[in-house]
């Protein structure tokens, strides 16, 4: 699997994501600065990491979504390349139009940083095939703007098309219908607020995040 991680000013989880990809796949991903206008040839997987791109000015992810490199990411997604947006990366993907809805301030107006329980809602995507339907997993969150919102028609469409990938199994941030992660219509773009890259080794306290990267590696090999 040939992978790349996009790096914006303010990204602070880019190296965590790169390290997870390296440890699972055995290949070091390319680190792509946001001012680039193209991506390396032959990419299978593009990671948009967490952090506070551009200091979360304007809206979380809004400025990063307009960085030069994002046009190349949008084109790659349209060609069927796998794109994973984690936390701020999820916010970037919604702002770029690759995923519907928006991420708003947490319902409690507090930064939430802890392990949370998720329920796996979709096992048919390139990212989720190594989980069981309805399985309960533990993945960390660390966000202030993780409250997923969309109009009722969009939420109904996401559920009807099986595009909800993960749900919170406990109260976290007020997200509509407990949504923690969603897929695009084609299933090759996933945005999720929890951080699977932070639980890939037992030394980190668990390995529930590892299977997401293993699933992608097997599907894209």
Residue-wise DSSP of 123-163: -SSTTTTTS-TT-EEEEEEEESS-EEE--HHHHHHHHHTT-
Strands 179-183 and 136-143: unpaired
Query: What tens digit of pLDDT does each residue of 90-137 get?
Result: 999 999 999 999 999 999 999 999 999 999 999 999 999 999 999 999
Strands 147-149 and 164-168: unpaired
User: Would you tell me which CATH number, out of the four given (3.40.640.10, 2.40.50.110, 3.40.50.880, 3.30.70.360), belongs to the domain 3-220?
Assistant: 3.40.50.880
Chain length of the chain: 221
**For position 60, what pLDDT does the model report?**
87
Closest to 34 in 3D by CA, of 80, 88, 114, 82: 88
| Mean pLDDT of the residues in the chain | 96
**Residue 101: left (phi > 0), alpha (psi -120 to 50), or beta?**
left
Query: What tens digit of pLDDT does each residue of 137-156 get?
Result: 999 999 999 999 999 999 99
Please report which confidence band the pLDDT of residue 221 belongs to, taking 50, 70 and 90 as the band edges. Answer: confident
pLDDT, mean of residues 16-34: 97
Instruction: Output the CA–CA distances (angstroms, integers) from residue 199 to 3, 61, 68, 208, 210, in the order listed.
Output: 19, 24, 31, 6, 7
pLDDT, mean of residues 201-205: 93
Q: Where are the beta strands (DSSP E) in 25-111?
A: 30-33, 45-48, 82-86, 102-104
Q: Which residues are catalytic?
A: 87, 195, 197
CB 129 within 8 A of CB 215: yes
What percentage of residues in the chain have a pLDDT greater than 70?
Answer: 100
CB 51 within 8 A of CB 14: yes
**For position 56, what pLDDT does the model report?**
83
For residue 6, give the 3-state DSSP assignment: strand
Half-sphere exposure of 128 toward its Cβ, with a 13 Å CA cutoff?
29
């Amino acid at each position: 699997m040939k992978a790349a991680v996009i790096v914006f000013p303010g990204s602070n989880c880019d190296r965590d994501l790169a390290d997870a990809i390296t440890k699972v796949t055995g290949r070091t991903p390319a680190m792509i600065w946001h001012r680039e206008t193209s991506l390396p040839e032959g990419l299978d997987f593009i990671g948009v990491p967490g952090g506070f791109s551009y200091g979360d000015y304007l809206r979380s992810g809004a400025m990063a979504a307009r960085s030069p490199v994002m046009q190349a990411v949008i084109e790659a997604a349209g060609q069927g390349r796998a794109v994973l947006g984690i936390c701020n990366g999820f916010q970037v993907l919604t702002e770029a139009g690759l995923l519907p809805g928006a991420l708003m301030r947490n319902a409690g107006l507090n930064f939430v940083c802890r392990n949370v329980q998720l329920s796996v809602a979709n096992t048919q995507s390139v990212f989720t095939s190594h989980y069981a339907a309805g399985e309960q997993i533990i993945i960390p969150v660390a966000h202030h703007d993780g409250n997923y919102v969309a109009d009722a028609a969009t939420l109904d469409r996401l559920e009807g098309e099986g595009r909800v990938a993960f749900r919170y199994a406990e109260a976290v941030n007020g997200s509509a219908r407990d949504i923690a992660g969603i897929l695009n219509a084609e299933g090759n773009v996933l945005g999720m607020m929890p951080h699977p890259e932070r639980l890939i080794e037992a030394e980190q306290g668990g390995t529930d995040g590892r299977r997401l990267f293993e699933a992608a590696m097997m599907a894209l090999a």
